[in-house]
């Protein structure tokens, strides 16, 4: 089927008390594996990519591969551009029919972030594309975007929701105490902040830096109102570790079969999706989901 609306998937999830897994795919193998696993679990899924991946393959190639996988699936599939401070790349994703983009203005000051977010939502909405907005810093560097400096930009709940409403943002990515990458120390999670934001607005709330949280922590965030959860690092590790294991075995056995490598990577990526669809309670929810 055609791409689903990221905003609609998140709204359905919030109403249904679950969160949609948003996983950072990196190529055709991970796209196919993620969609097949979501289909088998009956879970809606958001495929998302970093700007780095878009720069490698191009927005058209990724959209074509994701659309082909979505066409074979019976669950809703959305394609989302993750953390993008670069307006030219956003325009490229919009031109190739992606479901949504994350305009990352966390490196801009408040007034600039507000003005540019309004411009991006106007451009995206004219093409039927949803916008996730980030104007606060989420700690950690992800594929070259972001900062290890905590809370350079951090605003009141009212200011955050005010900007989102004024700019017609479709989803918001607030600072929630989580970080990108692997945790070196236990994070201080701002579950209460989600509850407070959810009381102020119906705009879906996105949790970044999901890798490494416990099942109880995910449940607390979902119960508080998070409806899209981003998983990047876990998928990267599953991808690379399975490739390493396969290549080590090929070296030992002397058997070099690329498709067997793809199978092993695909199986590892699929397991990540299955696990998260269960943790986020999105498994079995696809039938009820409305697509755009
Ligand atoms: Zn993120």
Does a structural domain hold residue 132?
A: yes
Choose the catalytic residue: 27, 82, 130, 170: 82
pLDDT digits 0-9 by tens, 138-177: 877 777 776 666 667 889 999 999 999 999 999 999 999 9
- How confident is the model at residue 195, as a pLDDT? 98
d(CA 56, CA 47): 17
Does a structural domain hold residue 62?
A: yes
Q: Which residue has the higher pLDDT, 269 or 1?
A: 269
pLDDT-derived band of residue 109, with 50, 70 and 90 as boundaries?
A: very high
Q: Which residues contact 41 (CB under 8 A, 6 or more apart)?
A: 273, 274, 277, 278, 282, 283, 284
3-state DSSP assignment of residue 184: coil
- Which residues are known binding-site members? 83, 104, 134, 180-181, 208-211, 230-233
d(CA 65, CA 180): 26
- How confident is the model at residue 89, as a pLDDT? 98
Does a structural domain hold residue 39?
A: yes
- Which residues are known binding-site members for Zn(2+)? 83, 104, 134, 180, 208
Does a structural domain hold residue 121?
A: yes
Per-residue pLDDT at 201 exceeds 90: yes
d(CA 59, CA 95): 9
Nearest to 129 by CA among 173, 83, 81, 172: 81
Share of the chain above pLDDT 90, in %: 86
Nearest to 284 by CA among 30, 80, 17: 17
Tell how far the Cα of 150 is from the centroid of ligand 1, in angstroms: 14
Tell how far the Cα of 17 is from the centroid of ligand 1, in angstroms: 22
Q: What is the tally of structural domains in the chain?
A: 1
- How confident is the model at residue 292, as a pLDDT? 45
Tell how far the Cα of 247 is from the centroid of ligand 1, in angstroms: 30
CATH number at 232 reads: 3.20.20.70
Average pLDDT, the chain: 94
Helix (H) or strand (E) holding 49: strand 45-49
- How confident is the model at residue 76, as a pLDDT? 97
Tell how far the Cα of 255 is from the centroid of ligand 1, in angstroms: 38
Per-residue pLDDT at 126 exceeds 60: yes
**Structural domain span for residue 97:** 6-288
pLDDT digits 0-9 by tens, 37-86: 999 999 999 999 999 999 999 999 999 999 999 999 999 999 999 999 99
Q: What is the DSSP track for 108-163?
A: S-HHHHHHHHHHHHHHHHTTT-EEEEE-SPPBEEETTEEESSTTSS---HHHHHHH
Does a structural domain hold residue 1?
A: no
pLDDT digits 0-9 by tens, 6-45: 999 999 999 999 999 999 999 999 999 999 999 999 999 9
Does a structural domain hold residue 250?
A: yes
- How confident is the model at residue 139, as a pLDDT? 75
Tell how far the Cα of 192 is from the centroid of ligand 1, in angstroms: 20
Does the active-site annotation cover 39?
Answer: no
The mean pLDDT value for 254-275 works out to: 98
- Which residues are known binding-site members for dihydroxyacetone phosphate? 181, 209-211, 230-233
Residues paired with residue 24 on neighbouring β-strands, in sequence order: 48
Does a structural domain hold residue 165?
A: yes
d(CA 207, CA 15): 17
Does a structural domain hold residue 146?
A: yes
The mean pLDDT value for 128-147 works out to: 84
């Amino acid at each position: 089927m055609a791409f689903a609306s990221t905003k609609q998937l998140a709204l359905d999830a919030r109403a249904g008390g679950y969160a949609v897994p948003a996983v950072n795919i990196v190529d055709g193998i991970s796209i196919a594996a993620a969609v097949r696993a979501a289909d088998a679990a009956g879970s809606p899924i958001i495929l998302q990519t970093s700007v780095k991946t878009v720069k490698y393959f191009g927005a058209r190639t990724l959209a074509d591969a994701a659309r082909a996988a979505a066409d074979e699936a019976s669950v809703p599939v959305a394609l989302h551009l993750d953390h993008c401070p670069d307006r030219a790349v956003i325009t490229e994703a919009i031109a190739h029919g992606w479901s949504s983009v994350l305009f990352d203005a966390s490196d801009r000051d408040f007034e600039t972030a507000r003005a540019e977010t309004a411009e991006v939502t106007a451009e995206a909405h004219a093409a039927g594309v949803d916008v996730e907005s980030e104007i606060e810093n989420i700690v950690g560097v992800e594929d070259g975007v972001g900062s290890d400096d905590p809370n350079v930009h951090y605003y009141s709940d009212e200011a955050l929701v005010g900007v989102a409403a004024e700019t017609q943002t479709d989803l918001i990515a607030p600072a929630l105490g989580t970080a990108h990458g692997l945790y070196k120390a236990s994070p201080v999670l701002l579950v209460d902040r989600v509850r407070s934001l959810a009381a102020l607005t119906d705009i879906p709330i996105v949790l970044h830096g999901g890798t490494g949280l416990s099942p109880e922590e995910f449940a607390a965030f979902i119960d508080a109102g998070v409806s899209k959860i981003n998983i990047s690092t876990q998928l990267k590790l599953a991808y690379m570790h399975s490739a390493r294991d396969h290549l080590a075995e090929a070296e030992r056995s002397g058997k070099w079969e690329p498709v067997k490598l793809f199978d092993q990577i695909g199986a590892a990526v699929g397991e990540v999706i299955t696990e998260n669809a269960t943790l986020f309670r999105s498994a079995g929810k696809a039938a009820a989901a409305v697509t755009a």
